[in-house]
Amino acid sequence: MDPRAARPVGGVRAAIGAAVRSNYKRNFEGGIVKSEMKKNVNEPEMTELGQERRELVRKMGKFAVYAAPFTLIAMTNKASAATGATGSGPRKHR
Amino acid sequence: MAAYSGSIHVNGICRAGNCGGGDAVAYGASISSPFNFNYTVNSDVYNISGSYAAAYDTNGTSISVDLSATYLGLHPTATNDTFAIDVLQQYFDDSPGTWDGTYTETIPITMSSNVGAGSTVTAQLLYDGQSVGLMGPFGPGSHFAQQSANLSGLTGDYLNADYQFVYTFGAGTEPGAEVSLVSSVPEPGQTLPLALAGIAFVGYRWIRARRGRLAA
């Protein structure tokens, strides 16, 4: 018997590789960070919890994008509030 | 008032800054300094603190004042306390010509709600005794004011600026009551474009999301 047949390494490696690629694709598209990807490597299917997490991250990202301009306005208001009384006039001229 | 420069006066008495006179800001120069002192009126003690700055450059003359007046007493005041704070600054330029032109003054003022009834504050910027315009009187809350005026007859090598604030703390002013040149009211000139940009951005995102949903 061929000794290589007793250890179907290639098949397992291929399966793991496919799972990693699949997970990477899902995670990348879902916007999950790398540390989360490691946890999902051996999961054949995304769990319900994982999907909820992805949804939460997506919603948080969306919220951040919408909140950005208003944060900018608030910062500008704060900056203008610190101005104090000001006065200005022309330079001496002929 | 005497031609002091870079100094803070309360009811006509120099209390901080360069009380010895001189120190006019010449072309290309600038000046800035913090101040912090207590002032007593009718036995009520107020802390006056902040900073001022002035400059004279290609844009012309400028002055800015951050100023807070806080009642330090332990009990509510029994009388009306009124005092005037003058921030004086002199500019110097011996080149021929005049200082005539358009002058602008801007103030954000916030008065706390624990001041006594009838409390007010007014502000005006004067150049060689000519007022750009009286702003106020303002009561409790946040306020923003801006005025401009064309002043003429400003001749000579020196131009004397006087940023004048007149405070009245009504009887019943509580400890910690404060009037400061800081406002939560945004300057409309800065906020309006940003608000419009924000609305446009959100609208753009909404339309894109809606198109995406329809296409799906």
Q: Residue A8 pLDDT more than 80?
A: no
Which residues, in sequence order, are bridge partners of residue B88? B7, B162
- All residues of chain B having their beta carbon less than 8 Å from the beta carbon of residue A67 are none
**pLDDT for residue B36:** 96
- Is B182 close to A94, i.e. CB distance below 8 A? no
Q: Is A11 on the interface with B (CB under 8 A)?
A: no
| pLDDT tens, position by position, B163-178 | 999 999 999 999 999 9
Q: Pick from B66, B103, B132: which is nearest to A84 by CB? A: B66
Q: Residue A3 pLDDT more than 70?
A: no
**pLDDT for residue A31:** 52
**pLDDT for residue B193:** 65
Which residues, in sequence order, are bridge partners of residue B146? B106
Q: Shortest Cα distance from A55 to chain B (angstroms)?
A: 16
Is pTM beyond 0.95 here?
no
Q: Pick from B93, B165, B194: which is nearest to A92 by CB? A: B93
Q: Is A35 on the interface with B (CB under 8 A)?
A: no
Positions in chain B whose pLDDT score sits under 70: 1-4, 22, 183-195, 216
Which residues, in sequence order, are bridge partners of residue B162? B88, B126
Distance separating alpha carbons of residues A83 and B52, to the nearest angstrom: 11
HEC string for chain B = CCCCCCEEEECCEEEEECCCCCCCEECCCEEEEEEEEEEEECCEEEEEEEEEEEEEECCEEEEEEEEEEEECCCCCCCCCEEEEEEEEEEEECCCCCECCEEEEEEEEEEECCCCEEEEEEEEEEEECCEECCCEEEECCEEEEEEEEEEECCCCCCEEEEEEEEEEEEECCCCCCCEEECCCCCCCHHHHHHHHHHHHHHHHHHHHHHHHHHHHC
Other beta carbons within 10 angstroms of residue B189's beta carbon come to: 9
Closest residue of A to B64, CA-based?
Answer: A86
Q: Shortest Cα distance from A64 to chain B (angstroms)?
A: 12
How much is the ipTM here?
0.82
Distance separating alpha carbons of residues B193 and B65, to the nearest angstrom: 26
- Is A66 close to B101, i.e. CB distance below 8 A? no
Sign of CA dihedral B135, B136, B139, B143: negative
Residue linked to tokens 């290309």? B28
B199 alpha carbon, distance to own chain's centre: 32
Q: Nearest 5°: phi and psi at B22?
A: 75, -155
| pLDDT tens, position by position, A26-75 | 655 555 555 555 555 555 455 777 788 888 888 888 788 777 767 776 66
- Is A83 close to B95, i.e. CB distance below 8 A? no
